[in-house]
Structures are given as structure tokens and as C-alpha cells.
Amino acid sequence: MTLLLALVGIIGISASGPIIAAFPGVPVLSMAFWRNGAAAAVLSVPAIRKNPRIYLSMTKREWIFTSIAGIALALHFVCFMYSMRLTSVAAGTALVCIQGVWIAVFQVVRGVQYRTPVFVGMAISLGGAILITGFDMGLSPEALTGDLLALAGGVLAAVYTLAGSVARQTMTTASYSSSCYAITAVVLLILCLATGMPVWGFDATGWWGIILLTLCAQIFGHTAMNHLLNLLGPLTVSTLILLEIPGAALLAALFLGQVVSTATYIGLVVILIGLALVIRGQVQPKARE
């Protein structure tokens, strides 16, 4: 069941890029607002049905960590979106997807100990991601700004994952995801209004794109990963997210006719090998002396 859920989550988040590319009529920031707002509304239904006072009964600690996760997710979308306009897609994608490195750093600072296979597996997985993207860092001031924004997007994604793992310790998937997405949507709505980004008036094709993005990337993708936080831990989930890179390429080839390079297939295998080491290395944590 866990493997199936991970597969659904990977396919869901991998669909984000191809869907955005297929429906260019809606600004990315507006799409980010709607995908979070609509997903929050949908997921709140089972949460409220199970406990009508679920949000009123949330503890201060749960609200704090859910708010941190929601704000981090919103800012992650902003950083990643604008980085794509300043630097290459390859460099931006690679820098954002190294969030697992930041999670490992944060965890080690907190005193968490990992066995050597975990770090080896992470290095191998990152190597697979770089093999696919090329990681072509730009040298111009504009490209450097984009690279820094992408790097910030990766840090924010790590904060979102870590804060979510804390909140999920005492919250159900539906209650956490719906409240987190709602906070993210509010932040993105404020940013859309502040920057003059339209949030209404799209044509039918644009709304279909928003619906697809909400269902695939947000409800099935991000929500599946939120559920896996309690089962696999934040480091394993962040390593799983590296599979979004080859996953997006394969979906773009299937639905948009884009060509998949040989490096994508090789990189996919390399990431899976690294992921296996990360999971295996966490089975028996190194005991403190």
C-alpha cells in the first residue's frame, strides 16, 4: 500500500510541469493559488465530516507548524516560478530538488544521526538528478539571481516538508493538508493581488488546466507525500521527490510529444539506486554511544 501511494504521489507531482506547459493561458502564480485553494476546499470535506470541530480543536502547536509549512510552500512556489524566468530550467530544477540535502543538514543540526548509506544514497540520487538536468549554472547576473531563487526554493521546500512532518505527528492527512493548503492559498492570493496577477476571467481551457493541476499535482501528488511523512520520514520523502525530474520528462513525452533523452532513463535508474540506499540506511539508525 505504501509503495502504491508513493507511486501515485510521484506521478501526481510529476504532472505539475507538463500540465502548466500544456495550459499557458493561466499565470503560474494564479494556478498555484487555485490549486491550493481548491484542494483545501475538497480535502476539508472528509476532515469536517469526521470531526465537525476539527479546525477549532487544533492545538497551538499544530497551527504553528501547519502555518510554517503553508507559508513556506507558498514562497517556494514564488521562488521556483521566478527562477524559471531568470535561469535555465535545468539549473533551476536541479537546485530546487536538492531539498533533501537541506533536510539532512537541518536534522543533523537537531542531533539526528544517520548511517553512512543514507549520505551515500543521497549523493547518488543527486548525481542522477544532475545527470538528467545537466545542472548548467549560468554566469550572467540574471542567471545567478535565478539560481539563488531556485536554491531558496529548495530550502523553503525542505522547511515545508520538515514542518509538515511535525504537524502530521498528531494530525490526520486530510486535516493537515486542507489547513496547510488553505494558508498557502491565502498567502498566494495576497501576492497575486499585490502584483496585479489575475485570479479570475480565464477561458474554459484555462479552468480545465487548473482542475487538472489541482487533482493531479495537489490532491494526489502533494497530499500523498504528506501522508507518507509519517510512514517514511521527511528525508525519504524528499529523496522520493527527486523522481519528479524523470517523471515529468516521461509524462511530457507521453502527452506533449517531447523527446526523452537517454540521460533521463539512466538518471531514473541512478536515482532509484540512491533512494534504495537512503531507505535501507534508515532501517536501523546508528545508536548513540
Q: Tell whether 237 is covered by a domain.
A: no
Q: What is the pLDDT of residues 208-255, one digit of tens each?
A: 999 999 999 999 999 999 999 988 888 889 888 888 878 887 887 888
What is the structure's pLDDT at 136? 56
Per the domain annotation, does 196 fall within a domain? yes
Q: What is the pTM of this model?
A: 0.85
Residue 261 counted as domain residue: no
3-state secondary structure the chain: CHHHHHHHHHHHHHCHHHHHHHCCCCCHHHHHHHHHHHHHHHHHHHHHHHCCCCCCCCCHHHHHHHHHHHHHHHHHHHHHHHHHHHCCHHHHHHHHCCHHHHHHHHHHHCCCCCCHHHHHHHHHHHHHHHHHHCCCCCCCHHHHHHHHHHHHHHHHHHHHHHHHHHHCCCCCHHHHHHHHHHHHHHHHHHHHHHHCCCCCCCCHHHHHHHHHHHHHHHHHHHHHHHHHHHHHCHHHHHHHHHHHHHHHHHHHHHHHCCCCCHHHHHHHHHHHHHHHHHHHHCCCCCCCC
Inside any domain, residue 251: no
Across 30-44, average pLDDT:
95
Which has more pLDDT, 111 or 38?
38
Would 267 be classed as within a structural domain? no
In a domain, 130, yes or no: no
In this structure, is residue 118 part of a structural domain?
Answer: no
Of the chain, the percentage scoring pLDDT greater than 90 comes to: 46
- Count the domains in the chain: 1
Percent of the chain with pLDDT over 70: 92
Q: Is residue 255 part of a domain?
A: no
Query: What pLDDT sits at residue 287?
Result: 44
Confidence class for position 285, pLDDT limits 50, 70, 90? very low
Range of the domain at 63: 2-108+138-231
